[in-house]
Amino acid sequence: MLGIIVVKDKKVSILGKDSLARSTTENSGYTMNYLLISTLRKLLQKNVGDGEYGIEIFIFGSLLVSTAPRDVDILILYDETSWSALDAIDLRRRLRESIQTITILPADITLLSVNENAESCFLQDINAIRLF
């Protein structure tokens, strides 16, 4: 489990159980925790599977812009023609449980259908990175 965030010389290190430090780098003005993002991508492949259609998953918020993120913000955008709302809710539950196994940061997972996103423009209003 990742747990302790250490900031030194504008670099962030995450210390895990084995006290192994992993550093992040700055890219386009955003400090990115590549270790956690890479791990999140692997969790998505496990929970969603390769080649799954009708779903896109984005990460945004303090994890991308802060050296001391408050939480893991995720947007699940699903196509109602491929995914039911209940299936999307189940995916959110599984992702939240999986994320809790790799970090102490709370997972804030927003769930929107493609139509809901079109009406709200949520994705267009945030700086997000597509994970899946």
* Residue 44 CB neighbour total at 10 angstroms: 22
Alpha-carbon distance of 72 to 116, in angstroms, equals 22
Largest distance between two CA atoms of the chain? 48
This prediction's pTM = 0.71
Q: Going residue by residue through the chain (132 aa), what tens digit of pLDDT does each one get? A: 444 343 444 444 444 434 333 334 444 334 447 777 788 888 777 777 655 678 899 999 988 888 778 899 999 999 999 899 999 999 899 889 988 888 888 999 999 999 999 999 898 888 888 887
